[in-house]
Amino acid sequence: MTTDNPGVILPADLVPDPGQGYWSYQEYAALTDEKQSYEIMDGVLLMPPSPNPVHQSITGKIYLYLTQHVETAGSGRVYMAPLDVELSPKRVFQPNVFVLFNESLGKITASHIVGAPDLVVEVTSPGTAAYDRLSKWKAYAEAGVREYWIVNSLMQSIEILSLKSQDYESQGIFRGKDAVLSPLIPGIRTVRVEQFFV
């Protein structure tokens, strides 16, 4: 069921079955509305806003650079939305960009990813920033995502978070000519943050 989305995460309360709080990947996968993207947070079906051109440009550049430093190096695979990631039966997201290293490739199924990616990138907007920083932060940490990038499209910055003792520790907020200091992908340190935002 497609609705005009004002740029914020909305509960999909008009989708009737099985009811909010009871959604799992099985019911989610049976949805037939191809025009609307959905996610599940703790059994609640959500409708993220459609991305705008700036969001898509940043996402595409991050995907390109990560592909060059991961796939070209033969160390894993890089994916971008829309592709379902089932962190748990009642938590299903479509991260903007994510990485599976070779040791995690067994999480790939014919239809989606089952389990935590090694690295996840979310490009925020004013309407999604709190969701990405609070709800998704917690969900990704609990699932064991080893590194989480929060990309602020307005501030043109990237915060890199590393998983330590089941929570994230910030490695810093990087802007402009700062290098991308990813502990998991050290080769990407040759890339300047500003290159994602031009």
Residue 53, pLDDT score: 95
Q: What is the tens place of the pLDDT at every residue in 155-182?
A: 999 999 999 989 999 999 999 999 999 9
| Structural contact between residues 46 and 67, judged by C-beta atoms closer than 8 angstroms | no
pLDDT of residue 67 exceeding 90: yes
Q: What is the tens place of the pLDDT at every residue in 12-30?
A: 998 888 989 999 999 999 8
Q: What percent of the chain has pLDDT over 70?
A: 96
d(CA 41, CA 143): 13
Single-letter amino acid code for the residue at 170: S
Q: Of the given ranges (2-11, 30-39, 43-52), which has the lowest mean pLDDT?
A: 2-11
Residue 1, pLDDT score: 32
Task: Give DSSP secondary structure letters for 102-147.
Answer: GGGGGGB-SSSEES--SEEEEEE-TTTHHIIIIIHHHHHHHHT-SE
| Structural contact between residues 133 and 155, judged by C-beta atoms closer than 8 angstroms | no
- The first and second tokens of residue 32, run together, are 């037939």
In order of their start, the domains of the chain are 10-47 (no CATH), 53-196 (3.90.1570.10)
Residue 3, pLDDT score: 40
